[in-house]
Amino acid sequence: MTDFFNMRRYLLQATLFLLVLVTFCMGQVYHATAAGAIQCHCFNNRDYNPTEKFAADAYILATSFNSLLARLAGLPKKQIIMIRMNQGVAQDDLLIGLKISRTTGQELQQVLDLSRNDKTWAEIIAGLSLQEVVNEDKTLAEIKAGLPVRLAGTRVADEMIADFFRVPSGEINKLRISGLNEKEITLILILKHVSEIQPEALVDQYKNQGRSWSEIAYNLGVQPKAAGRYILAYPSKNIAGNG
């Protein structure tokens, strides 16, 4: 009888050990997968393909907007990508951090580091030393007062796009009302700059004619890879290669 209970106890211990080991291994796989997802900035389709006309849309939108952020931040585009992918900074947080950086003169990375301390953007802005400058900026003052992050990100994006492309805020609002997001608006405006075709006509091609963004760009002589280069070169229309 003693041997029976010893064997039973041994089997229970072995079973518990195996359960702990499996749980640990699954946790390691999860974290490795999550880390890989954060670090990966891979697009399988970077060229327009008429047989898969929407395949390169994610890339052309991402490269355009990242190029815009790089110009606004005065940083290499690769650094913006590293901030987004390796540091896992969400787009709205990056936009708010960039807004604070451009308004106060503080380095972008230093601003983003403040958000890692479980503080809200309202608390971070309230703790900045240049409160007179903050309060004079309507958007920062509203974020300080509790404007939700998603709305704040949208507000900042629209302001920066309008300022960069030197277009009235009303034009940005019209594009928003038509259903476009900030990445699409950025692409629309750089294509307008390159081709001198009005945004309404480009939106019509996408929404009513069923063309993809990469197809629209390609038909204007802009390969998806070149869209970001035009933004990095703006306002010049001369870029190093259009491939």
CB 223 within 8 A of CB 243: yes
Q: What does the pLDDT average to over 61-82? A: 97
pLDDT for the residue 13: 56
**Cα–Cα distance measured from residue 222 to residue 230, given in angstroms and rounded to the nearest whole number:** 9
The rounded mean pLDDT for the chain is 86
Instruction: Assess whether pLDDT exceeds 50 at residue 54.
Output: yes
Instruction: Assess whether pLDDT exceeds 70 at residue 9.
Output: no
CB 71 within 8 A of CB 234: yes
Tens of pLDDT along 227-238?
999 999 999 999
Which amino acid, one-letter code, is at 166? R
Q: What does the pLDDT average to over 12-30? A: 45
> Which among 49, 33, 64 is positioned nearest to 185, based on CA atoms?
64
| Cα-based distances in Å from 88 to 20, 91, 108, 120 | 30, 9, 15, 17
pLDDT for the residue 117: 82
Tens of pLDDT along 116-174?
888 999 999 999 988 899 899 999 999 999 999 999 999 999 999 999 999 999 999 99
Residues in contact with 28: Cβ distance below 8 Å, sequence separation at least 6, in sequence order: none
Tell me the domain boundaries of the chain.
1-40, 50-233
pLDDT for the residue 5: 46
